[in-house]
Structure 1
Amino acid sequence: MSDRHDFTDDRTDRPAKVGFLTVGDVLSSAAVQRGAPEVIVGGSALDAAVRWVHVSDSAAVARLLDGGELLLTTGAAWPDDDRMLREFTLRLYEIGVAGIVLELSDRRPEVPAAVVEVCAREGLALVVLTREVKFVAVTEAVHHALIAAQTAALRERQHLHELFTGLSLQGAPADVVVAETARAIGAPVMLENLAGELITGEYLGRGVAESLARRAEADRVAVQARGTRWGTLLALPGAEPAAGRLTALEQGATALAFGCLADDGDVEWSLLAQRGVIDDLLGARFTDAADIAARLAAGGFELRGRRCLGVVVGGVESIAALAYRARQSGLAVVAARAGDHDVALLSAPASAELDDATLLRIAGSDRPVFAGPYADDVPGLLSSLRAARDLADSEGSRGGARVRRVGDRPLERLVATLRDDRRLHEHSERMLAPLIRYDEERRGDLLAVLGALLAHPGNRSAAASASHLSRSVFYQRLTLIADLLGVDLDDGETLAALHLALLARRRTPASA
């Protein structure tokens, strides 16, 4: 008949409500364990919060209770009539008691079936003590534990208040506030804007795609101040921290709202969301392509069934302006500053063609655009963005408005495709080693001269001009290069191999 549970004195589960104990916590205490408790109705009922302990045998005890009490009783004055017992137990449930602990005795050697029936039906914890205990010892122990839990909660709330106040005063960016909130709660936390798009999140090592898929289960607090709302802070289910989940979430939301008041919240959040994705892509800090895809989708950037590519725009301008022009052109965009360039991911309808005019309009002013190949998944998008950056690095940002595409440079595209193949880099090191060694030992410029020759293969006068050398000095450098490498610089195959080696070297981090 009983659902017997084993309890130990070292139980450390947090109560369901901050500053309270659960029925299960009380049963695990040494004072109750002396009564050899047996759980008659348990399960989730043992998670009910205990606000206080009340001792009474009266059948009219319900009128003396406010809810949240754990009733300790011998049942000596309970009625014997089943109907009256059902009404008595139902009244206790309706008033909100946390549970009933009945000490068995000669007067009442077993728990009445009517009481079991109501408790089981309503989910009210029911426990019997099979040995006599001092109720005063139980109340003293529980009340001491309750006061200790409430004191700990107050201390933790004060700590959170100081933490988030400090973040607000320091002007901490939204991603830092979100990360601190997640650590305080011990569960993934995400920030959304008013459109429901993901701005940033701290997932505590859990899968991003999985966390985003569970947003419907999250606790939510609005980020708002002075009548203006900017978004929502969400926390996925998890253990209850000492200060309380909602308390920590509200503190985080308040810090975010202060940040929005100090800055242009909408713009700052948009740039933060996009920079995070770009940084993770370029830094290869993601372990699962599905996570990046989920983050892109949560920001309104779709890959499936779209024409997507990475672009690099030379020069310096407002990233927000670039993103605005892309959206005005009907594109989804993720843009950020990376090094000396602006980089962007663009997503267009499958039927659309991102022609040169569109790319130049998005770039704005007199800025060159370098475009990678089209992609339809995360690895392809990463490859497209890398290829566009490589092309920008090799050609530079001077020259005004123009569009250069990796697809128009077959050798560039080949190197971009094989950039992670060690054989390509071995080829580069083997072919260029004499020039690299010469330049390092003599602070020479042979690699730069070779690059100029390959950039102007049919016009050595233009190559000399690009090297900022006189024609005679330039030709001397070419002779030295040919001698060091033991090759004929008029041979087309040799020039192709050298071009491949030089492009591969430019994509090697050590050569940067």
Structure 2
Amino acid sequence: MLPTLRSILNLPVVRAADPEILGGGGSLGGDGSLGGDGGLDAPVRWVHVSELLDLAGLLSGGELVLTTGLELDKDPGRTAAYIRSLETAGAAGLIIERTAPRGSTTAALKDAAKAAGMPIAVVHRRVRFVEITEIVHRMIVAEQLEKVEHARDVHEAFTVLSLESAGTAQVVEQAAAMIGASVVLEDLQHHALAFSAQGLPAAELLHDWERRSRTTPPARPAADSTARANTVARSGPEGWLQVPVGIKAQLWGRLVVPLPPDSPHEDEAAVMVLERAAQTLAINRLAERDQRGLSEQAQAGLLSALRQPRGLTEAEALARAGSLGLKRSPFYLPLVFRSLHQDSSPGDPLANQQQERALLELLATALKSTAGNALTASIESGSVGMLLGLAAKELEDHTLQRLAAALSTQVGHGEGDLAARWIIGVGRYRSTLLEAAAGIDEATHVADTAATLRKQDRAYYRATDIRLGGLLALIRNDPRVQQFAESELETVLAAEAEGAQGYLELLGRYLDSGGNKAAMARSGYLSRPTLYARLAKLEQLLEVDLEDPESRTSLHVALMLHRLRGQ
């Protein structure tokens, strides 16, 4: 901290000269202490010794002026103008040596000092100005050196945290420890993301946080460090210290000291710490994002290579997978997460990409709470593949349940539950990584087929859960199979195209009920006479007997193939 006029007047060398305050800064008490507050606590930036009466062009503000006042003795009438000129130039104070009685000059000084806002003092005994100058300048240099050392310590501490990609909480804790006050990191919605409470309970620090934060608007950035310390730091009714977090137009939060230090100098030091902490948080967030993106790309490339090995050996596959975090395990289980959101927005690749990114992050978090580890990556738009390593086959269902539970409890990007958007297809567990990778295709077919089911009441699906649907999913793209489905449903589809709606739905309900007309009527779908009449019309369109089991089987297979279209 810079020395003040109060601290300078308390120096032994000055006290020995019998100082007296004439005005502008309080008075000397009977016990020798300095009373009043005036300008005695203003910082002194430098000491200037001069006998000139015109110092306007020589001062830049914050100086303590020392003079013998000999020039004032020549013309005491210039005393008031002299003091006003010092005040205009921003001087911190004036000390005049008066070792001999000078009646007119002393009277003029006292009169001018009464109206002065700047502290004016006289010393009644001879003092070496050079000694005062040396002492004060050492104090100023020491303060500047302290600032430099503090800035170096702050820089080193947060550089280490940047290099170590430290977590958000660790950065906030470091900032709070260096400032000696509580620090809170909040996002743009005024939610406290991390905090470090210093000297008070966390409940008190965060009490009614959102409302208090909203009444504290973001501070405007300043052009230089001096202005920043005075204008950027404090804001709002509680006088919070704050700095934004992020890069230019991509700000994503701010660091706040809800209980700022008492003095402006401490504020400046605290803002420097906050700024360095904000930079570290921004850099670590970018690095984490880049690292995550590179990791996802690497896993996607490896998963593709594992599915089409082309000479890749099991040992090489295990080594490459191990470098990306998949530990060697006795069993590997292929999984595919198939997006239902893909069907509702096929023309929105950005939305699909965001959904996949959210799923990858969610699965990474969920796996941390299980005994499994995995290689996970997008395999095509709307589908995410996973090779799950398991220490024992008995852990399979437990791990799958944990993953499914994570999907059902997490909320996505404004689109509802992830459970409503993702179907889990499970392949067969294998003892080698390459065999498990080949099973991704089976898991894909399972997930794709499960996505077509009207009743999706399972947490995950295996091939045994989809049965005929799984077979049809495997052969659905065969032209002969497509021709079969078209020929079976041709007349109904043509009627639908011409505006006769409802027959395809009626056929589906009839076949799903096993051909039980009475059960359909009891369900309230249609009244009995209307139902029978429409079924008779349906038989005419199809030109088949709906009571014939083989006809119903053919129609059911054709309808299942029709539902798989586009999947």
Larger Rg: 2
Q: What is the TM-score of this pair, normalised by structure 2?
A: 0.42
